[in-house]
Copies of this chain bind each other. A is one copy, B any other.
């Protein structure tokens, strides 16, 4: 059976909508209308066997469902207000625990869980729709706003989540060499409990010009999406990348650079700033490269450069894929 990538399906959806005069799928959320009553709306899913393993506690995947949606809102620079849950429950699922976790995680970001639907199913999962308003004095962040000469930034470390995915089993940490267990626990926490960068996104939304996307499917693949929407290329500096520790990656049989570039599920913001801007609006982000006038994606290591393939984590084929 031919594997289909999420990007190919999104292209399909986009073509379907384009034939109807709708072209809103370039960003992390759809923007409903301009002006003071403008809303951004985003939908995400967490499905057992796809986004989390069968033994994952309901609270963990329920919170993750909220976090990945809010990360989309962060990439739009919005202020999330309302959430709507479509829950799929097996007969043994602790539905109350899921609802509490979703409502808790929403409340942490001042979001109201305002409605939902429940259905029995053969596996657990949920989809969440989140509505957001523009932040006061800001505009919606778009993927299409990058220009040659802009600097390229990452809101936080990448690659840890990929390592944490390997450590989701209960005894996985104990199987690590003792010296790697502390980092292992950190990686698992980062994978399980992504923190949407809402404050950073809102600060960026007040900037004069800024392109942004959240790194959900891997730095390289999401950078390729941002560059495609902006019609630009990018150079990523290998030395500037906030990679996970080499020893932990090696203990898990993985390459730390590969995890950082293609691992996915990092849920940090990847954004650009205009050439004159020297620093990020908040502490934490690191500058990792420069936007170029075409030429695709390039990885620069010292004096050498190589093409950076737009490969990342694909939820549809449950593995890595070309974008």
Mark A residues whose CB is within 8 Å of B.
Answer: 1-4, 6, 9-10, 12-13, 16-17, 20, 22, 24-25, 29-30, 32, 37, 41-45, 47, 49-51, 81-82, 84-86, 88-89, 91-92, 95-96, 99-100, 103, 107, 112-123, 125, 127, 129, 131, 315-318
Q: Could you write out 22 A-B pairs with CB less than 8 Å apart?
A: A4-B91, A6-B118, A9-B95, A12-B96, A13-B99, A13-B116, A20-B103, A20-B113, A22-B113, A24-B114, A30-B84, A43-B86, A45-B119, A49-B121, A50-B119, A84-B129, A86-B129, A88-B125, A89-B316, A120-B318, A127-B127, A129-B129
> Within 8 Å CB of A316, what residues of B?
89, 118-120
Q: Do A82 and B32 touch across chains, with their CB atoms under 8 A apart? A: yes
**Known contacts A84-B30, A89-B316; is-contact A103 B45 (Cβ 8 Å):** no
> Within 8 Å CB of A9, what residues of B?
89, 95, 118
Q: Do B16 and A96 touch across chains, with their CB atoms under 8 A apart? A: yes
Q: How far is the CB of A51 from chain B (nearest CB, A)?
A: 7
> Within 8 Å CB of A92, what residues of B?
1
Copies of this protein, total: 2
Q: Do B120 and A122 touch across chains, with their CB atoms under 8 A apart? A: no
Q: How far is the CA of A125 from the CA of B117 in the complex (A)?
A: 14
Q: How far is the CA of A42 from the CA of B91 in the complex (A)?
A: 24
Looking at the complex, which one of B2, B12, B122 makes contact with A49 (CB distance below 8 Å)? B122
Q: Do B120 and A32 touch across chains, with their CB atoms under 8 A apart? A: no
5 smallest beta-carbon distances between A and B, as pairs: A86-B127, A30-B115, A129-B129, A30-B114, A120-B316
**Known contacts A30-B115, A44-B117, A86-B45; is-contact A91 B1 (Cβ 8 Å):** yes
**Which residue from chain B places its CB closest to the CB of A24 in the assembled complex?**
B114
Q: Do A120 and B41 touch across chains, with their CB atoms under 8 A apart? A: no
**Known contacts A24-B114, A118-B10; is-contact A103 B16 (Cβ 8 Å):** yes
**Known contacts A16-B96, A113-B17; is-contact A43 B84 (Cβ 8 Å):** yes
> Within 8 Å CB of A91, what residues of B?
1-4
> Within 8 Å CB of A1, what residues of B?
91-92
> Within 8 Å CB of A24, what residues of B?
114-115
- Contacts A45-B86, A49-B121 aside, 9 further interface pairs with beta carbons under 8 A come to A9-B89, A22-B113, A30-B82, A30-B84, A30-B114, A32-B114, A41-B129, A43-B86, A89-B316
The residue among A42, A119, A318 with the most chain B CB atoms within 10 A of its own CB is A119
Looking at the complex, which one of B16, B25, B113, B315 makes contact with A120 (CB distance below 8 Å)? B315
**Known contacts A16-B99, A24-B114; is-contact A41 B82 (Cβ 8 Å):** yes
The residue among A25, A44, A51, A316 with the most chain B CB atoms within 10 A of its own CB is A316
